[in-house]
Amino acid sequence: MNPRRFKFAPPRFTQRKSKRRLPSGGMYLEEDEDKYKASVYYWWYEYLRRSDEYRKCCERGGRGKLAKLYEDFGNVFAEADTEKEAFRVWWRGHAHLFWEQEGRKVDEINKVNDLEETDLVVRLPLNETANYIVKHVRRLLMEKSEQVRRAREHSRAVYPVATKVRMTTLQTQLHVYDVHIANPNMKLHELADEAGLSVNKQVNYYDEDGELAGTQTVEWLLRNGFEVDAKEGKAVVKRRKRQIARQHLEAAKEYISNVQLGKFPLRKR
């Protein structure tokens, strides 16, 4: 058994070459120093650090309603010389939470009393050659490809990753949440600007017959002599900013709510 097998890429702290790409378009990542952030397990740790309830539990030495989670995850607020070192120390002591447990063994049916839904019971004609048996097992696996796919998606980790989410999405949503916490009275469209969120700033414009002619920014339309209601156009852009800020903020809050339950990244309440 290899105890360090993960379903998803674990954090990488060294500078050795790797085929694993960093998320693109991130706010925090730099090519060398921040490569450890290109892992869902790092974001699991960071979202848990945003939980006020879990912070209180850590301050009480593991007491409170999240005491069971504390037994596994420990103090994620422990300080070190750098954020990277703090996470590295925590990861060394808790990586086992995300390891895939030992796989099921091939065995005789009369010795198996704990069949699972990820098992497939087959008959092997031992009077045939090994090549013949392997050939037909492979053929059977191909025929059961959908069942095989579902089984391989199943994780045996103590804390399995709930679903696939882009690193940049987790990163952006946490950034929006942090900006909101630092500026609790900021309006949503202001939050979008402060967090650097990209929104579509183009609005529709029409020809003299009232037919849609295209889309451009309000500034471009005014600069080029088009008749446009600038106030209405800016209101459209402001509405888009509010919408995207709200979406990111709600997602972050849901992730934080569920990470307290040992589930990440999961948005369902």
List the chain domain ranges: 109-153, 167-259
Q: Token pair of 43, please?
A: 């974001």
Q: Token pair of 255, please?
A: 């992730």
| Type of residue found at 19 | K
CB atoms within 10 A of CB 81: 7
Per-residue model confidence (pLDDT) at position 242 = 94
Chain centroid to CA 225? 46
29 band by pLDDT with thresholds 50, 70 and 90: low
With a threshold of 0.85, does the pTM exceed it?
Answer: no
Residue 34 vs residue 108, higher pLDDT: 34
CB–CB of 132/96 below 8 Å?
no
Q: Report the DSSP pairing between strands 212-217 and 202-206.
A: antiparallel
Alpha carbon separation from 241 to 28, 67, 189, 201, 245 (Å, rounded): 22, 39, 5, 9, 6
Taking the C-alpha atoms of residue 83 and residue 11, their distance in angstroms, rounded to an integer, is 14
Check pLDDT > 50 for residue 25: no
Per-residue model confidence (pLDDT) at position 85 = 94
CB–CB of 197/248 below 8 Å?
yes
Q: Token pair of 93, please?
A: 């002591």
Torsion of CA 40, 43, 47, 48, to 10 degrees: 80
The per-residue pLDDT for range 101-124, each reduced to its tens digit, is 776 666 556 566 676 777 777 777
Q: Averaged over 205-217, what is the pLDDT?
A: 68
**Range among 103-112, 142-151, 164-173 rated most confident:** 164-173
CB–CB of 264/252 below 8 Å?
no
Taking the C-alpha atoms of residue 73 and residue 94, their distance in angstroms, rounded to an integer, is 7
Per-residue model confidence (pLDDT) at position 178 = 97
Query: What number of CA atoms fall less than 13 Å from residue 267's CA on the CB side?
Result: 12
Q: Averaged over 72-93, what is the pLDDT?
A: 94
Taking the C-alpha atoms of residue 21 and residue 183, their distance in angstroms, rounded to an integer, is 33
Q: Averaged over 60-70, what is the pLDDT?
A: 95
15 band by pLDDT with thresholds 50, 70 and 90: low
Q: Averaged over 225-241, what is the pLDDT?
A: 75
Check pLDDT > 90 for residue 73: yes
Q: Token pair of 62, please?
A: 């593991």
Taking the C-alpha atoms of residue 24 and residue 137, their distance in angstroms, rounded to an integer, is 41
Taking the C-alpha atoms of residue 203 and residue 200, their distance in angstroms, rounded to an integer, is 8
Helical residues (DSSP H) of the chain, grouped into ranges: 40-48, 52-59, 67-73, 83-94, 130-143, 145-153, 167-182, 188-194, 218-223, 230-259
Taking the C-alpha atoms of residue 250 and residue 52, their distance in angstroms, rounded to an integer, is 16
Q: Token pair of 44, please?
A: 């699991």
Per-residue model confidence (pLDDT) at position 95 = 94
